[in-house]
Amino acid sequence: MRIIGERRISRVLISTALGPGGSGIFPYTLLPTYRRLILAVRETGTTVIAKSATRYRRQGNFRPVNPLTWRYIKRISGQGMLNAYGLTNHGVEVCTKEIKQSCSSGLQVIPNYYPEFAKGTEMAIRETLESIKIYQDILGPEFWALELNFSCPNAKEAIAENVNQGIACVRRVRRDYPELYLIAKNSVVHPYEFAQELERLGVKAIHGVNTIPYAMVFPGDRFPPSPLADAGGGGVSGGPACLAARKYNAELRKKVNLFLIMGCGVSTPEDVQSYLDLGADAVSLCTLALRQPKEAARVLLALNG
Ligand SMILES: Cc1cc2nc3c(=O)[nH]c(=O)nc-3n(C[C@H](O)[C@H](O)[C@H](O)COP(=O)(O)O)c2cc1C
Express each pLDDT in 102-126 by its tens digit.
999 999 999 999 999 999 999 999 9
- pLDDT, the chain, mean: 95
pLDDT average, residue stretch 264-275: 96
- Ligand 1 atom 11, closest CA: 149
- Residue 155 in this model has a pLDDT that exceeds 90: no
Which amino acid belongs to residue 70?
A: W
5 pLDDT above the threshold of 70: no
Ligand 1 centre distance from Cα of residue 81 (Å):
9
Cβ atoms 98, 21 nearer than 8 A: yes
Is residue 156 very low, low, confident or very high in pLDDT (cuts 50, 70, 90)?
A: low
Q: Which atom of ligand 1 is least distant from the CA of 83? A: 1
Q: Which residue's CA is the nearest one to ligand 1's atom 4?
A: 16
pLDDT of the residue at 4: 55
- Does residue 291's CB lie within 6 angstroms of at least one atom of ligand 1? no
Q: Which pLDDT does position 64 carry in this prediction?
A: 86
pTM: 0.96
Minimum CA distance residue for ligand 1 atom 13: 16
Ligand 1: which of 237, 242, 268, 274 to mutate, judged by most atoms within 8 Å of the beta carbon?
A: 237
The C-alpha atoms of residue 244 and residue 222 are separated, in whole angstroms, by 16
Q: How confident is the model at residue 6 (pLDDT cuts 50, 70, 90)?
A: low
Does residue 242's CB lie within 6 angstroms of at least one atom of ligand 1? Answer: no
Question: What mean pLDDT comes out for the span 143-168?
Answer: 87
| Whole-number percent of the chain with pLDDT over 90 | 92
pLDDT, average across residues 87-102? 97
Burial of 161 (0-12, 13-18, 19+ CB in 10 A): exposed
Q: Is the C-beta atom of 83 inside 6 A of ligand 1?
A: yes
Greater model confidence, 2 or 228 = 228
Residue 211 alpha carbon to ligand 1 centre in Å: 6
Distance 12 CA to ligand 1 centre (A): 15
What lies within 8 Å, CB to CB, of 207 at 6+ separation is 15, 49, 147, 183, 184, 185, 186, 261, 263, 284
Is residue 25 within 6 Å of ligand 1 at its C-beta? Answer: no
Ligand 1 atom closest to the CA of 265, numbered from 1 = 25
88 Cβ closer than 6 Å to some ligand 1 atom:
no
> Amino acid letter at 305?
G
- Half-sphere exposure in the Cβ direction for 230 (13 Å, CA): 6
Question: Residue 284 forms beta bridges with which residues?
Answer: 13, 263
Asked whether the predicted pLDDT for residue 2 surpasses 90, the reply is: no
How confident is residue 3, by pLDDT bands cut at 50, 70 and 90? very low
Confidence at residue 264, expressed as pLDDT on a 0 to 100 scale = 98
CA angle at residue 165 from 164 to 170, to 5 degrees?
Answer: 100
